[in-house]
Amino acid sequence: MTIQIGDRIPDMPLVIATGEGPKPTTTGDYFGGRKVALFAVPGAYTPTCSAKHLPSYVEKAADLRGKGVDEIACTSVNDAFVMSAWNKDQGSEDITMIADGNGQLAQALGLTMDGSQFGMGSVRSQRYSMIVNDGVVEQLNVEAPGEYRASSAETLLEQL
């Protein structure tokens, strides 16, 4: 079942990709007590993700924070080392990278897609964005397959 507005993010382990290596935490600790703009991409270094999706959040980070967002996070079914390298390459130090290497977060949220036709594996995250306030989903924007619009930073800014 796909997570909905008003639902709480399931309590589970998370891995934050940092320059010092993987940092384990939990969804409860990460999302608790703050407002997070979370967006998901099918894969680090993929064309739309690198050319449009992540850059929209890098460009609009100050605007999102100005609207009350405490943290901006990107998740993808990639390991922490890939997510950290992508973050460094994209100049996105304002974005926290959540490595979902086994796709457990994407599956728990009900927001998976099959990327095997592109050689990406059968479990990938759909492209989406959400506002999570103290662990509860306040906004949710899931893209149609092959689309990029609803999950942009600009869309979240309009919703805040």
Tell me, yes or no, if 49 is annotated catalytic: yes
DSSP assignment, residue 148? Answer: -
The pairing of beta strand 136-142 with beta strand 128-133: antiparallel
Q: How far apart are CA 119 and CA 140, in angstroms?
A: 28
Q: Which residues of 44-61 are buried (b: 16+ CB within 10 A; e: fewer)?
A: bebebbbeebbbbbbebb
Catalytic residue (one of 36, 41, 49, 72)? 49
Contacting residues for 154 by C-beta, under 8 A, at least 6 apart:
56, 60
Extended beta strands in the chain, E state: 13-18, 21-26, 35-40, 71-76, 96-99, 112-113, 124-125, 128-133, 136-142
Catalytic positions, written as ranges: 49
